[in-house]
Amino acid sequence: MMDKKELKNLDAEALKQEVASLKKELFNLRLTKITGQLKDLSQFRKLRVQIARALTYLNQNQQ
């Protein structure tokens, strides 16, 4: 995962790729949870916050 500064410096296309990657990671995390292998449930929140942050920067770049 990237930090705020790295996300802010990305262009729109790279941000779209990052969002897609994070959503795929969230999907895989859900599958891991279903199988009972996931112990740290806080990863869900961290990923959702990261996705929201990337989408916010993407919307700011488009304006």
- Domain with residue 35: its CATH number is 1.10.287
Hey, is 12 helix, strand or coil?
helix
pLDDT digits (tens, 9 = 90+) for 11-62: 999 999 999 999 999 999 999 999 999 889 999 999 999 999 999 999 998 8
Number of structural domains the chain divides into? 1
Which amino acid, residue 60? Q
What secondary structure letter does DSSP report for 63? -
Query: What range does the domain containing 30 cover?
Result: 4-62
pTM above 0.85, yes or no: yes
